[in-house]
Homo-oligomer: A and B are copies of this chain.
Amino acid sequence: MRDLLPEEVALRQYLTETILGVYQSYGFTQIETPCLEHISLLTGGEGGENEKMLFKVLKRGEKLIINENTLEKDLSDSGLRFDLTVPLSRYYATNREKLPKPFKAIQIGNVWRAERPQKGRFRQFVQCDIDIIGMKGVAMETELIMATSEALLQLSFQDFEVKINDRRLLEAIAAYSGFPSEEVGKAFIILDKADKIGIHKVREELAASGFEATAIQRFMEIIEKGGILTPDTLTEVLPEIQPEIINDLKEVIQAVTHFAQGRFAVRLDVTLVRGMGYYTGQIFEIGLEGFQSSIAGGGRYDKMIGKMLGSKEDVPACGFSIGFERIFMILIEKKYLPAISKDKIVFLYPETANLTSLMQQANMLRTRGKIVLTEPQKKNMRKQLDERKNQGYLFFSLYSESGTPEIRANQ
């Protein structure tokens, strides 16, 4: 875990404000869940691999009695959330009577995972999710993708690519290929690695995992065309596909392409899998030229909320998570500087100055909308001013015996 320096927090604050502003313009509202959740929620299975990286918190209250029969589960009844999706479902189940329908939520908050320490991975990091719960049709997917793309554009990202797929389509391809239905998950886990290992290795790994050669052949014929298939050409390759799946993809891709107006790319990508088990429909990811991992990802999960409510009915839900930490690091490396909206003035005073009148002079400048940093004037004033200039103080002012300080450029 890391400390954040003032210039880092300033950039993160700017990121947050920009993203929030865009999401709010789509009618999303921010909510917050506690960082600690009950252990049963965090080990219920919806979190997949992330559940293995859980930070558990020691029980409080009566004194812990520890002996040879003590199990880890006797020691802990809560843990730190590892994502924002699982807590959101719990939140919706708890508070749904008080929430607008459809519910459009923004969450920006810390999550914790006990990852092996490595460059660019932190054990505490910020996730930034939008989710829509209870809205009909693929307007959900469209809005999530448009809002996230708009946020990226406003942060000066260009030339990114939105890749869209559908879990139902993947399942149809697997069935058409002749993969046994209980083995489909295994095939997808291998396919999911295509980005890292390359598409040829996928074929090898499928064979090594015992899939039949003819099935692999049929599967790979479609997958290898992954980059060039469109919803229309897909129907030719896979004539038995449910028209609804194709229509949904067409509608979303068309609406987002129109919105993009050439500022970014949008395409079907039948090789896209996304790790989590809970997706039930369209899935999507945003990739950036020159970066292997995606900068945003999400999809539809119609089963999770119903499960949380103990109901057999599906509740339509769809989310998109922007890679806050990845975006932050890209911008830090680019030395991206958010626009400074206010003049920053360093106000210097002699140590003998009267406290009341020096504060009055500084406040006079503040009421004029300036940022004013007061400090005693040092012997080497030039050096002092140069240091402040590096912190963005492009103006300075000196304590004035007459009571009306002048603002000068710090050059």
Contacts and interface: CB of A to CB of B under 8 A. Distances in A.
A258 B36 contact: no
Contact of A359 (B35, B114, B146): B146
A75 interface: yes
A135 to B, nearest CB: 7
Q: How many copies of this chain does the complex contain?
A: 2
Contact of A370 (B25, B60, B139): B25
A155 interface: no
A373 B57 contact: no
Interface string A83-97: 000000001001100
A374 B137 CA distance: 12
Nearest to A122: B34
Given A31-B5, A58-B58, A255 B68 contact: no
B5 A99 contact: yes
A4 B375 CA distance: 40
A241 to B, nearest CB: 20
A251 B355 contact: yes
Nearest to A391: B100
Contacts of A143: 359, 374
A146 B363 CA distance: 9
Given A9-B32, A30-B13, A56-B58, A3 B91 contact: yes
Interface in A109-129: 110, 112, 114, 123-124
Given A58-B58, A58-B76, A259-B359, A4 B25 contact: no
A86 B55 CA distance: 22
A372 interface: yes
Nearest to A71: B66
B252 A355 contact: yes
A379 interface: no
Interface in A340-372: 342, 344, 346, 351, 355-356, 358-360, 363, 366, 370-372
16 contacts: A1-B35, A5-B95, A6-B30, A6-B100, A9-B29, A9-B31, A12-B32, A25-B372, A26-B373, A27-B346, A57-B58, A66-B70, A66-B75, A102-B375, A137-B351, A251-B355
Given A5-B95, A259-B359, 15 more contacts: A1-B35, A3-B31, A5-B31, A5-B98, A9-B32, A13-B30, A26-B374, A27-B346, A27-B373, A55-B60, A58-B75, A70-B70, A137-B351, A139-B374, A143-B374
Interface of A: 1-6, 9-10, 12-13, 24-27, 29-36, 55-58, 60-61, 64, 66-68, 70-72, 75-76, 80, 91, 94-95, 98-100, 102, 104-105, 110, 112, 114, 123-124, 135-139, 142-143, 146, 251-252, 254-255, 258-259, 342, 344, 346, 351, 355-356, 358-360, 363, 366, 370-376, 387, 391
